[in-house]
Amino acid sequence: MLQEQSTLGVNYYVDGRIRIAGDQVFRPYAEKWASEIRSVGATPMLYLTWARKATPEDQGALNYAYMRVAKDTGAQAAPVGIAWERVRKQKPFLELFYEDGSHPSAAGSYLAACTFYAVIFQQSPAGLPGKISGIPVNLETGKEEPEKNAMLAELSPQQARVLQDAAWHVCQQLRKAGGNLNLTPVPVPTAAPLPEGTPLVGAELEGTWSGDLRFYPPPFLPAQLELRLRREGNVWKGHLALLYHSQDQADQALDLDDLRVDEGQLTFTDPQAAQKLEIHFRGVQVRSGELRGHAEASMENPDAPVRLVGTWQLRKK
């Protein structure tokens, strides 16, 4: 059973929410692991995971990535995420997520287990018990507590049947399709495009602007951004302040060395922002007294690259 996090190996954030940026990291490693598994005479199975609670629209990208590599490697796919999508749409009262919006609740784990059962044994999980006890895991240490026996899942017969039926339904669909769904690529999500700005008139632009930067994930979202602009002759000067409202990150203030103001947009860089990022800002004036813009940053890491795209909106004080 091969599982990737529901980010496919790239930490990609849009307005502070983690999103799917494609399978360029996931795919080659999935192929290597599948090859190793086949080399010992076993059949690889891919654990097709679920989209995070805040971004259900990313399920299509996960489905495409897993199904594509399953088809190309001859692996089986356990369509857990597809079953989650079905339950979330049809029975939203059943909470599948743990409080962090990423990991499964007891019901979510039960749905995953039912899907594995249906795929492996090719039979319906209907009738399996909804109450399961066993050795618990300490959530703080991540270690088993063998001296204890706890109720790991305690679902009503009605709840258990909903999850069993969802797992069996999607597995039957997948089997009828020959074990793989013919899906199309999903575009990588980006920040909304900026509108065409109004001319940046010096007298209107000078002064102090304040608003929100939607860029970092929690606990830094949103950060407050303050921008002070002034003109000395034909040269623009700027001062940037970022207020994170977090005990884990000190606020930041700096003079802008590369501030540039053209007729239609302004650009500047924060070279030493929180989390050691270099953030590139670009903005336009959408109307008198209001600036909107994009912010972008990236960190190269061959194992888990990081890319952030965000938006900011300022009003003149």
pLDDT in tens, 105-155: 999 999 999 999 999 999 999 999 999 999 999 988 989 999 999 998 899
For residues 37, 38, 41, 44, the Cα torsion angle rounded to the nearest 10 degrees is: 60
- Distance, in Å, from the CA atom of 277 to the CA atom of 245, rounded to the nearest integer, reads 18
* CATH number assigned to the domain with residue range 202-316, chosen from the 4 options 3.30.450.20, 1.20.58.220, 3.40.109.10, 2.40.128.120: 2.40.128.120
The CA-CA-CA angle for residues 91, 94, 96, to 5°, reads: 115
- This prediction has a pTM of 0.88
> 119 burial class (0-12, 13-18, 19+ CB within 10 angstroms)?
buried
Do 77 and 66 touch, CB atoms closer than 8 A? yes
- Distance, in Å, from the CA atom of 45 to the CA atom of 312, rounded to the nearest integer, reads 43
Do 66 and 82 touch, CB atoms closer than 8 A? no
Domain segments of the chain as ranges: 11-176, 202-316
Please give the CATH architecture assigned to the domain spanning 11-176. Answer: 3-Layer(aba) Sandwich (3.40)
User: What pLDDT score does 302 carry?
Assistant: 66
Percent of the chain with pLDDT over 90: 78
Do 225 and 20 touch, CB atoms closer than 8 A? no
The CA-CA-CA angle for residues 192, 197, 201, to 5°, reads: 145
- Bridge partner list, 311: 214, 294
Place of tokens 């090859």: 35
User: What pLDDT score does 249 carry?
Assistant: 86
* Low pLDDT (below 70) residues in the chain: 302
